[in-house]
Structure 1
Amino acid sequence: MNRNLGITGLIGAAVTTLTGLAVEVVVKPASEISDKLWSYPWSADAFVPVSIVYAVLHLLVFLGMVAVFRAMTTRAGRIGAALAAGGTLVLLLAELASVPIADQRLDDTGPQLVGACFGLGVALTAIGLIVAGVVALRLWTGWQRYAALLAGVWSVVMIGLSMTSALPLGVTIYGITLCVLFAAVLTRRTQAAASNPRIRARIEPRIER
């Protein structure tokens, strides 16, 4: 079960990376939409299905965060993962709330409120991943121990990028850090398992589930 959740999150993160890259490289250079509009760089009509697609990607990432939650063996780690999952849900809701304000200006009330929701979602994700990352740094082994902290630190950077033209590039890198995180969840070992073959034999079947 946890493996399926991790794979689902990995797929969502990979597609998020590709969409961010496509917007930065293809959509932005060709856009004739004012960057003062909420839908930029998309037209209002195109922005609606795009927002729905983004919401679906957040759902896939949320399921990956559930895998992170299940991979944590301490209370602090699970609280952190739960915060990150909650932040991802806030981002999903913000994407859906973007649909009716696609044609509004950034300084209108609707975009200001939805923008604040995006900021809240990113902040919760950042805090949660940093907390979970500190726990993983202590309990996991190998490169996997750095994955959650890396994603959390980049989420902090995303707070500053969220209302700038560099957002698509930031989303691309965010997607990459999530790919690393979910790959770490799928391949992780705890310190105890790494040092004790008997414990490893008991834990590894649970990791596969």
Structure 2
Amino acid sequence: MNDIMARKTGAWALLLAGFTGAASGVFLAFVPPAVADDRFSFPLSASGFTAIQSFFFLHHLAIAWGLMVVWRSGFAGRGVPALIGGIGSVVSMVLLAVQELVAISVAHAAYPSPATDIVDSIYGVLSLLNGAALIVLGIAVVRARQWVGWRRYIPLILGVYVIVPLTPAIFGPFVVARLTIGVWMLIFAALGFALARTDAIPANARMERL
């Protein structure tokens, strides 16, 4: 895949995932509950939960692709931090995608319960790993100075956001958690916009073969 096509697909993946992810956060925050809040699938029925989790699986894969394009396009440079942050952010996002499907297995479960505690714990570990990897990738982007202005700080903001405010919000009210995730998704959309802007392409960056 050539440089221009990779950047376009990565940008569109991040833009679409960002905006649809934000919309899904608003939807989950305000949709009339179909089940009581002592069900893991809340606020959706088990079938509705299965449908949206399947969407989240594809959604996370789209973000993973966009992150790989950002990394492999050279915006983070070619050093060890770029390698660690790039691989870490992509792999952790793919694992989060898989976890969205795993969560379907406890759609009918009472919440909280031993089974849902395990699912939540895995979500927590993977989310923190993703945040840490994004911070490393973000630092690499800042140091590489291939992007200018606000674009240069978007990956770092994405990682820091996972630590604060996203992680504390997850332990708060359901609506606050969903809306906080929605804002995170909009930052991914901003990353897609940065990737799409032709004036943000470094002259010396060359996409490695994907």
TM-score scaled by length of structure 2: 0.83
Partner of 1:56: 58
State the alpha-carbon separation in 2 of the partners of residues 163 and 52 from structure 1.
24
Structure 2 residue 187 is matched with structure 1 residue 181: no
65-74 or 155-164: bigger deviation: 155-164
Q: How many residues align?
A: 195
4-13 or 48-57: bigger deviation: 4-13
State the alpha-carbon separation in 1 of the partners of residues 49 and 114 from structure 2.
18
Which amino acid in the other structure matches residue 177 of structure 1? I
Partner of 2:157: 150
Partner of 2:168: 160
Structure 2 residue 6 is matched with structure 1 residue 2: yes
Higher relative contact order (CA 8 A, sep 6+): 2
Partner of 2:179: 169
Q: Per-residue deviation at 1:109?
A: 2.1
8 Å CA contact retained: 2:10, 2:195: no
Which amino acid in the other structure matches residue 35 of structure 2? I
More helix by share: 1
State the alpha-carbon separation in 2 of the partners of residues 118 and 103 from structure 1.
18
> Could you list the per-position Cα deviations for residues 60-100 of structure 1 after superposition, in whole angstroms to 9, with x for gaps in the alignment?
11111111221322321231122111221121111101112
1:82 to 60, 82, 87: 87
8 Å CA contact retained: 1:87, 1:123: no
Partner of 1:196: none
Which amino acid in the other structure matches residue 182 of structure 2? T
Taking only the aligned residue pairs, the percentage that are identical comes to 21
Q: Per-residue deviation at 1:144?
A: 0.6
Q: Which runs of 5+ in 1 are unaligned?
A: 194-199
Q: Which portions of structure 1, spanning 4 or more consecutive aligned residues, are displaced by more than 6 angstroms?
A: none
2:20 to 15, 20, 34: 15
8 Å CA contact retained: 1:68, 1:182: no
Partner of 1:113: 118
Q: Which runs of 5+ in 2 are unaligned?
A: none
Partner of 2:68: 66
Q: Per-residue deviation at 1:10?
A: 2.1
State the alpha-carbon separation in 1 of the partners of residues 118 and 107 from structure 2.
13
Which amino acid in the other structure matches residue 154 of structure 2? A
User: Structure 1 residues 206 and 44 mapped into 2: Cα distance closer, same or farther (>3 Å)?
Assistant: closer
Q: Per-residue deviation at 1:206?
A: 5.4
> Could you list the per-position Cα deviations for residues 7-30 of structure 1 after superposition, in whole angstroms to 9, with x for gaps in the alignment?
2222112211111122223x1xx1
SS of 1:34's partner is coil
Partner of 1:34: 36
TM-score scaled by length of structure 1: 0.84
State the alpha-carbon separation in 1 of the partners of residues 83 and 194 from structure 2.
16
